[in-house]
């Protein structure tokens, strides 16, 4: 597209897995990337000669779903993406919430069990540590070592190596009725429902969008979570709540980052024209 246009892009949006400083686009902390205080926005502006907006990847995905996907037309929504970890984003009164230090929406780190397992963030009992794919795989490995007969099928699906157990292997064994896999998935569902009830009580969205790779193996989570939340949350907060699946899939982050950059550019031009 750039070759055909024979011109640099006017604006570029980038979603990155980490905490990003608003404005500068500096990645304050990106544990999965091994980044700390990386001036990504500054470097890209110099290299591309364009306006660059850098934001958290899950916040970008939330923006994409809101503007272009399942959340189009809604003013109050929450996105929760279930994959290796768990991330989220919040739209309230038609504004994407960023918070005081640009860290709003860290929904994977709400506490759902005070004495729960340690999370990579340093806390214990986070939703991500109870229901994230990486955390479940870690727990499955420990259980397989303790109960090899019960976990044999999970290991077989993982290629015969207990260290190779993934969420996909757990879901595969769950589909076959394996008791250990069923235990793991049931515990994950309990934690996810508890987290969603807390989110609904705290934020009061009209729509919750669930996305991420875990739903590829467990698509029934969408209807099940809506049923559980309606049964556990206060009626005033949940009676009209809808829980739906992401429609943009793996493109949500890229589309959202691009939309954020475009909207920022348009807002700047409108401000200049006043």
Segments of the chain assigned to CATH 3.30.420.40: 1-69+247-274, 74-246
The reported pLDDT for the residue numbered 1 is 61
**Would you please indicate which residues are annotated as catalytic (active-site) residues?**
57
Q: How far apart are CA 34 and CA 233, in angstroms?
A: 38
The reported pLDDT for the residue numbered 50 is 87
Which residues of the chain, if any, have pLDDT below 50?
none
The reported pLDDT for the residue numbered 228 is 97
Homologous superfamily of the 74-246 domain (CATH): ATPase, nucleotide binding domain (3.30.420.40)
The reported pLDDT for the residue numbered 120 is 86
Report yes or no: 11 and 261 within 8 Å, Cβ to Cβ.
Answer: yes
The reported pLDDT for the residue numbered 273 is 66
Q: What is the pTM of this model?
A: 0.91
The reported pLDDT for the residue numbered 3 is 73
Q: 8: which residues sit within 8 A by CB, 6+ positions away?
A: 2, 48, 49, 50
**Cβ atoms within 10 Å of 75's Cβ, excluding its own:** 14
CATH class of the 1-69+247-274 domain in this structure: alpha beta
The reported pLDDT for the residue numbered 129 is 96
Q: State phi, psi for 97 to the nearest 5 degrees.
A: -75, 135
């Amino acid at each position: 597209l750039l070759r055909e246009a024979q011109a640099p892009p006017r604006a570029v949006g980038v979603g990155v897995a980490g905490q990003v400083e608003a404005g500068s686009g500096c990645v304050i902390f990106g544990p999965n990337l091994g980044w700390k205080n990386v001036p990504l926005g500054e470097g890209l502006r110099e290299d591309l000669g364009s306006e660059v907006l850098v934001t958290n990847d899950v916040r970008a995905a939330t923006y994409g779903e809101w503007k272009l996907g399942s959340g189009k037309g809604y003013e109050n929504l929450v996105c929760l993406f279930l994959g290796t970890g768990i991330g989220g984003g919040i739209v309230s009164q038609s504004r994407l919430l960023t918070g005081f230090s640009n860290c709003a929406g860290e929904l994977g780190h709400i506490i759902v069990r005070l004495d729960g397992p340690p999370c990579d963030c340093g806390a214990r009992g986070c939703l991500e540590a109870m229901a994230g794919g990486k955390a479940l795989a870690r727990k499955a490995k420990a259980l397989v070592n303790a109960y090899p007969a019960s976990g044999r099928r999970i290991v077989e699906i993982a290629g015969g190596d207990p260290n190779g157990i993934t969420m996909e292997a757990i879901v595969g064994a769950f589909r076959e009725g394996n008791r250990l896999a069923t235990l793991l998935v049931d515990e994950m569902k309990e934690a996810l429902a508890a987290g969603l009830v807390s989110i609904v009580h705290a934020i009061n969205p009209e729509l919750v969008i669930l996305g991420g790779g875990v739903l590829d193996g467990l698509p029934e989570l969408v209807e099940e979570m809506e049923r559980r939340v309606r049964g556990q949350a206060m009626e005033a907060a949940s009676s009209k709540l809808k829980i739906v699946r992401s429609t943009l899939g793996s493109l949500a982050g890229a589309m959202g980052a691009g939309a954020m950059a475009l909207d920022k550019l348009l807002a700047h031009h409108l401000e200049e024209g006043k």
